[in-house]
Copies of this chain bind each other. A is one copy, B any other.
Amino acid sequence: MRIGQLAARTGLTTKTIRFYESAGVLPAPARRPSGYRDYDEDAVDRLAFVKAAQAAGLSLAEIREIITVRASSGAPCQHVLTLLDSHAADLDRRIAELTALRADVERLRSRAGILDPATCSPAAVCQVIPADVVARHVPTT
């Protein structure tokens, strides 16, 4: 099938499919004499995997790596599990950070009621956002 039909069947754009090929997550397909790409059914499965892996939070670089492992040393399950674990840990960290930030934003909000706008200095712009929030949200990333 040509790229347009593959796009229709997978819900991606032709642009994205070509980009995935260049990104190494979709093998270069056969070509017709005209130069048109000619895909088989495997391409549909592969793109389904790419979408699923993205939905699971993996980057294209990680997906490419999984595919490489699969091609060179068989089933990449162990590698995938390691990746998933490290992503779960990342997610836990991010969730904790965002939750802390959420609490701090709430704190600023409720504290704002007792402030007098007249006491804001122009250089400091707005005392609703005080300097001490920096200390609580240090370079975590």
Residues of A within 8 A of B (CB): 41-43, 45-46, 48-49, 51-53, 55-58, 66-67, 70, 74-77, 80-81, 84-85, 87-88, 91-92, 94-95, 98-99, 101-102, 104-106, 108-109, 112, 115, 117-118, 120-126, 128-134, 136-137
Contact = CB atoms under 8 A, between A and B. Distances in A.
Contact of A77 (B76, B102, B128): B128
Contacts of A52: 129-134
A134 B55 CA distance: 5
Given A46-B125, A55-B134, A125-B46, A99 B105 contact: no
A77 B80 CA distance: 48
Is chain A's interface secondary structure helix, strand, loop, or mixed overall? helix
Given A55-B134, A57-B105, A102-B88, A80 B118 contact: no
Contacts of A87: 105
A95 B101 CA distance: 11
Contacts of A106: 88
Contacts of A66: 125-126
